[in-house]
């Protein structure tokens, strides 16, 4: 059972425009959500996170929105740059994991920013 | 600052051969450590995690094992590799706080032939 879903395997956006990456989850116990960026043959890099007590978190060009009632989060990148081209993973964790802090990852969305 | 190392970066091994991948973390103590695998075109699958020396939990039944002989060292092993073990292996750590970011190493590309 896929608890964290990224239904769009790929997305293409023009440079300077907004990129919107979406993520859905099924477990209402998740209380912390993260976005990672991954280039080929490299480890994922942490981008931004949001706690379930918030509905928005912003860091420069990156903003994450959380809609708990819909069990949906999204990552907005404005303006998009060619260097943003990568695979983006969303992830979620639950406080019931205790000290293990396990993350459940989605399958990723490949973002291509066209110059 | 904290850094995480993995080696080797790439590895080509025949079916039935043993495997040992190593991960070390610098600049922190008593981290949680994790092994993930990314198969071709797939997401990140958690294989093992450890909250302390000698403490290993397995997430999925498989041909692999893990060990944590020292606080900041995490090893992924196999006695006999299968073709299906091919993939990109990632080690990660976090500080152990409930609900926190994990930080990933550069990964090891394993090809079993």
User: Cis omega (within 30 of 0) on the bond before B8?
Assistant: yes
DSSP-assigned letter for residue A84: G
Q: Which residues contact B54 (CB under 8 A, 6 or more apart)?
A: B68, B69
Determine the Cα–Cα distance for residues B61 and B47; give it in Å rounded to an integer. Answer: 9
Length of chain B in residues, anyone? 113
Task: Specify the pLDDT at position B22.
Answer: 97
Mean of pLDDT over chain B: 91
Chain A: residue whose CA lies nearest to B38: A107
Question: Tens digits of per-residue pLDDT, A46-92?
Answer: 999 999 999 999 999 999 999 999 999 999 999 999 999 999 999 99
For A46: left if phi > 0, alpha if psi spans -120 to 50, otherwise beta; the answer is beta
In A, what residues contact B, Cβ < 8 A? Answer: 31-32, 34, 36, 41-46, 49, 51, 89, 93, 95, 97-108
**B77 CA to chain A: closest CA distance, Å?**
20
B41 touches B72 (CB < 8 A): no
> What value, to the nearest 5°, has the Cα angle with vertex A113 and ends A111 and A115?
165
Q: Is the pLDDT of residue A13 over 90?
A: yes
Q: Do B104 and A43 touch (CB under 8 A)?
A: yes
Residue B62: predicted pLDDT? 78
Q: What is the dihedral of CA A110, A111, A113, A114, to 10 degrees?
A: 40
List the single best residue of B55, B99, B100 to mutate versus A (max A Cβ within 10 A): B99
Residue of B nearest to A42 (CA): B106
What does the pLDDT read at residue A97? 61
Q: What is the 3-state secondary structure (H, E, C) of chain B?
A: CCEEEEECCEEEECCCCCEEEEEEEECCCCCEEEEEEECCCCCEEEEEEEEECCEEEECCCCCCEEEEEECCEEEEEECCCCHHHCEEEEEEEECCCCCCCCEECCCEEEEEC
Three-state DSSP state, A2: coil
**Which residues of chain B lie closer than 8 angstroms to A42, CB-CB?**
106-107
Among all residues of chain B, which has the CA nearest to that of A89? Answer: B43
Sign of the dihedral through C-alpha B24, B95, A39, A25: positive
Q: What is the pLDDT of residues B50-99, one digit of tens each?
A: 999 999 998 877 789 999 999 999 999 999 999 999 999 999 999 876 56
User: CA B106, CA B6: separation in Å to the nearest integer?
Assistant: 6
Give A-chain residues touching B105 at CB under 8 angstroms.
43
> What is the pLDDT averaged over residues B22-47?
89
Output the pLDDT for position B97. Answer: 66
């Amino acid at each position: 059972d896929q608890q964290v879903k990224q239904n769009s395997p790929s997305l293409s956006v023009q440079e300077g425009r907004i990129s919107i990456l979406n993520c859905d989850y099924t477990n209402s116990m998740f209380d912390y959500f993260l976005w990672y960026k991954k280039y080929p043959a490299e480890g994922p890099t942490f981008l931004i996170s949001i706690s379930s007590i918030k509905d928005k978190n912003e860091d420069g060009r990156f903003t994450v929105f959380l809609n708990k009632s819909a069990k949906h989060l999204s990552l907005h990148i404005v303006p998009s740059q060619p260097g943003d081209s990568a695979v983006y993973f969303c992830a979620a964790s639950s406080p019931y994991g205790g000290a293990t802090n396990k993350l459940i990852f989605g399958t990723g969305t490949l973002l291509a920013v066209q110059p | 600052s904290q850094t995480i190392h993995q080696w080797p970066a790439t590895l080509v091994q025949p079916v039935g051969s043993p495997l040992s991948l190593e991960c070390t973390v610098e600049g922190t103590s008593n981290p949680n450590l994790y092994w993930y695998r990314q198969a071709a075109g797939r997401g990140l699958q958690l294989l093992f995690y450890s909250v302390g020396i000698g403490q290993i939990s397995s997430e999925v039944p498989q041909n692999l094992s893990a060990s944590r002989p020292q606080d900041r060292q995490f090893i992924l092993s196999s006695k006999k590799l299968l073709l299906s073990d091919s993939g990109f292996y990632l080690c990660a750590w976090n500080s152990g706080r409930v609900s926190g970011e994990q930080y990933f190493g550069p990964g090891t590309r394993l090809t079993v032939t």
